[in-house]
């Protein structure tokens, strides 16, 4: 990357927007008007789902270790993940950014490189938004639109007694990856000549810096003709998400410690940091994997899927959800995100 720095005010009022608009590719036939009017227009098919998320510098991301193009990618991915969690297909995004004069044109171009890369990955169209000044720091607010036929939508509320609780991928990696990044930041702060030692942590650092929305699983479920009875994405830690399904579906869950999916690197690094790996799975956030329930009749269709894990099942107990430990102890699940009030989705 070059070290050129162009001040944003050299571009004129609409110069930045023009530059951003030029880099946009429209892929969805449902996009009838993209950037350039008072609003985008969309010709919907079926039900429209819509979700929005704001990321604030100093709270949700730290540019001292987060490359800004990864931030752009991640900001799109986490919104696409919300659309995936409705069992819908993402189609459009709108991006608002507020930025202080600390940011150069080159930084914003790198941010939009990441945004455009995610648009390509998830086949969504960037159709609007605004860029504003900010008194300090960077704020990114992304709204994602998706579509699904009404009968395919998966809410949090449909889990029934006996349904199998499934989780994709592996859990806890993004949280443990964050611990690695924070440690290397401290090391660098105390001795700027030290090179960060990230190579051996590549997978978990990647899960933190550049998570993927599990649209692959959504497409596979559609191919298998499976509609989850309930679904949510795992953004705040497994325990918190199970409690959301419990609250909305009105039933408890039993999960098993020995069924919880964890990568070996996550496990080993958690131990290195004196963290309990199971606590990282239950309360660490930002995995953006999917948690969903399927009827027992659908189990045969997915039982050999390499990336879907059957971690428990739904009870009719309205009281609580719990974890059965390897020693057969029952532990009641509690939500305790690590970041108090750092983010609450409506």
- Contacting a copy of itself within 59-98 (CB under 8 A): 59-60, 82-83, 85-86, 88, 92, 94-98
User: Which residues, including other chains, have CB under 8 Å from residue 13's CB and lie 6 or more apart?
Assistant: none
User: What number of residues does the chain have?
Assistant: 346
335 near a copy of itself, rule: CB under 8 A: yes
Contact window for a copy of itself (CB under 8 A) among 33-41, 64-72, 160-168, 294-302:
33-41
HSE-up of residue 23 (Cα within 13 Å, Cβ side): 17
Rg (CA), the chain: 21
Name 56's bridge partners.
139
Rule CB under 8 A: choose which of 36, 250, 271, 296 binds a copy of itself.
36
Q: Least distance from C-beta 328 to a copy of itself, angstroms?
A: 31
Q: Least distance from C-beta 200 to a copy of itself, angstroms?
A: 32
Rule CB under 8 A: choose which of 6, 23, 32, 296 binds a copy of itself.
32
User: Which residues, including other chains, have CB under 8 Å from residue 89's CB and lie 6 or more apart?
Assistant: 83, 146, 147, 148, 215, 218
Alpha helices in 86-235 (DSSP H): 105-122, 173-190, 202-209, 215-223
Q: Least distance from C-beta 213 to a copy of itself, angstroms?
A: 11
Number of residues near a copy of itself (by CB under 8 A): 81
CB nearer to a copy of itself: pick between 142 and 270: 142
**Alpha-carbon dihedral 334, 335, 338, 344, rounded to 10 degrees:** -170
Name 152's bridge partners.
none
Rule CB under 8 A: choose which of 6, 23, 41, 186 binds a copy of itself.
41
User: Which residues, including other chains, have CB under 8 Å from residue 344's CB and lie 6 or more apart?
Assistant: none
50 near a copy of itself, rule: CB under 8 A: yes
Q: Helix, strand or coil for residue 337? A: coil
Q: Helix, strand or coil for residue 179? A: helix
38 near a copy of itself, rule: CB under 8 A: yes
What is d(CA 156, CA 316) in angstroms, rounded to the nearest whole number?
Answer: 16
CB nearer to a copy of itself: pick between 59 and 324: 59
Q: Least distance from C-beta 33 to a copy of itself, angstroms?
A: 6
Rule CB under 8 A: choose which of 49, 173, 213, 314 binds a copy of itself.
49
16 near a copy of itself, rule: CB under 8 A: yes
Residues 273-332 that bind a copy of itself (CB under 8 A): none
Rule CB under 8 A: choose which of 76, 218, 232, 260 binds a copy of itself.
232
Q: Least distance from C-beta 344 to a copy of itself, angstroms?
A: 5
Q: Least distance from C-beta 203 to a copy of itself, angstroms?
A: 26
Residues 126-145 that bind a copy of itself (CB under 8 A): 127-137, 139, 141, 143-145
237 near a copy of itself, rule: CB under 8 A: no
- Whether residue 95 contacts residue 129, with contact meaning beta carbons closer than 8 Å, is answered with yes
HSE-up of residue 275 (Cα within 13 Å, Cβ side): 23
Question: Cβ atoms within 10 A of the Cβ of 230, count?
Answer: 25
Rule CB under 8 A: choose which of 53, 163, 212, 286 binds a copy of itself.
53
Pairing of strands 322-324, 330-332: antiparallel
């Amino acid at each position: 990357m070059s070290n050129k720095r162009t001040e944003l005010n050299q571009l004129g009022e609409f110069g930045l927007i023009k530059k951003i608009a030029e880099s946009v590719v429209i892929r969805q036939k449902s996009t009838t008007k993209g950037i350039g009017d008072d609003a985008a227009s969309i010709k919907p098919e079926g039900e429209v789902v819509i979700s929005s998320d704001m990321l604030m510098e100093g709270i949700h991301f730290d540019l001292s270790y987060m490359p800004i193009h990864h931030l752009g990618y991640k900001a799109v991915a986490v919104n696409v993940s919300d659309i995936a969690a409705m069992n819908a297909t993402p189609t459009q995004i709108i991006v608002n950014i507020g930025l202080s004069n600390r940011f150069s044109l080159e930084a914003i171009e790198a941010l939009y490189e990441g945004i455009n890369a995610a648009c390509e990955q998830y086949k969504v169209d960037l159709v609007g938004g605004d860029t504003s000044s900010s008194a300090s720091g960077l704020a990114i607010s992304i709204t994602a639109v998706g579509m699904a036929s009404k009968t395919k939508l998966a809410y949090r509320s449909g889990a029934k007694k006996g349904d199998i609780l499934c989780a994709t991928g592996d859990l806890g990696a993004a949280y443990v990856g964050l611990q690695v990044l924070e440690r290397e930041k401290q090391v660098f702060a105390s001795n700027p000549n030290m090179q960060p030692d990230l190579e051996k942590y590549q997978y978990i650092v990647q899960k933190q810096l550049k998570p993927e929305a599990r649209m692959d699983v959504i497409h596979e479920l559609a191919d298998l003709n499976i509609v989850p009875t309930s679904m949510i994405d795992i953004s705040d830690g497994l325990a918190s998400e199970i409690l959301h399904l419990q609250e909305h579906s009105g039933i408890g869950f039993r999960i098993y410690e020995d069924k919880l999916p964890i990568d070996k690197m996550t496990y080993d690094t958690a131990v290195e940091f004196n963290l309990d790996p199971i606590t990282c799975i239950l309360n660490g956030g930002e995995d953006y994997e999917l948690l969903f329930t399927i009827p027992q009749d659908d189990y045969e269709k997915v039982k050999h899927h390499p990336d879907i894990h059957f971690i428990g099942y739904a009870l009719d107990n309205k009281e609580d959800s719990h974890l059965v430990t390897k020693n057969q102890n029952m532990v009641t699940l509690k939500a305790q995100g690590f970041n108090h009030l750092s983010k609450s989705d409506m």
